[in-house]
Amino acid sequence: MLDNPSLGVVAGLAAYAALDEDHQGEPEAVKPKTAAEPGSTKAGATELTRRQAEALRSGMERANMLAAKYLKQYVVFSEKSEALSKFFAGTGVGQDLTTLTEKVDQAMDINMDAGWIASDGDKFDELEYFITLIKHDGRGRHFKSLANVPELLKIEFEGFDESEFKAFLDQHRETCRSAYDEMPELLEDLDEELIGESFFDMLENFPQHAAITRRETREADALFKNLHDAWSDCKKTGLSLLHMANHLGDDDYDPGLMEALLFDR
């Protein structure tokens, strides 16, 4: 289950939510009254805190591994696009390269809003991963009040009352929903904005119309093919980034599956 990229960090939500839910958010008035030896209540709370910390850090480790793959691909694309920009400057393909780069940068921002990439483009810490869990708890089943904040993060919410915390939850969930609405639009817009493919059609026919020798024709064909292959490779890398990071490398994913898991859409 954890190896399925379509589930991604959501597995962390399940792991955290599975932690003795009787203790999370349970009103004191309804907790069973049982005789306890001195120190047993404190020991139980300490054990729950330890298990919460382990679940958060385990999920955070998976989240950072997933994000690292996407960030590595982003660097690969940036290097390819920068190199090709010199060759295609002043052409329709050069304009397409600029458009694709802008879309990839937007996809990075959307992934941050959706909780798949840390906001600083580096690694998640406990607080930001907890916010990711909130975002991915789109139906509000696991995080409803300050009582659901893990002990090691309670200090981060000391100034919150319940209404402020609810607004905090709503804000991050809405940010995630909006991100999932925006990502498909990037691909739709890109299909309409790319204009440079006719440039390669022209290059393909150019040697046959030029008064050059057979050898020069072969060399021109080879040069034009190399340019086209380089652009196609760069474009493919860029397109692989116009998805949520948990789908990187999965060309056959169901785009509605994660939204159904997160938001019950």
Over residues 229-238, the pLDDT tens digits come to: 999 999 999 9
Q: What is the pLDDT of residue 191?
A: 84
The residue-averaged pLDDT of 146-171 equals 94
Over residues 177-204, the pLDDT tens digits come to: 999 999 999 989 998 888 766 767 666 6
Mean pLDDT of the chain: 81
Over residues 117-142, the pLDDT tens digits come to: 999 888 999 999 999 999 999 888 88
Question: Cβ contacts of residue 98 below 8 Å, gap of 6+?
Answer: 85
Q: Coil, helix or strand for 207?
A: helix
**Could you tell me which of 155, 135, 151 has the C-alpha nearest to residue 143?**
135
> CA 183 to CA 137: how far, in whole Å?
19
Question: Other CB atoms closer than 10 Å to residue 186's CB: what's the count?
Answer: 19
Write down the domain spans for the chain. Answer: 10-263
> CA 105 to CA 245: how far, in whole Å?
13
> CA 246 to CA 48: how far, in whole Å?
29
Over residues 2-29, the pLDDT tens digits come to: 344 334 445 555 555 555 454 444 433 3
**What is the value of pTM for the model shown?**
0.80
Over residues 207-229, the pLDDT tens digits come to: 565 656 777 778 878 888 899 89
> CA 18 to CA 6: how far, in whole Å?
20
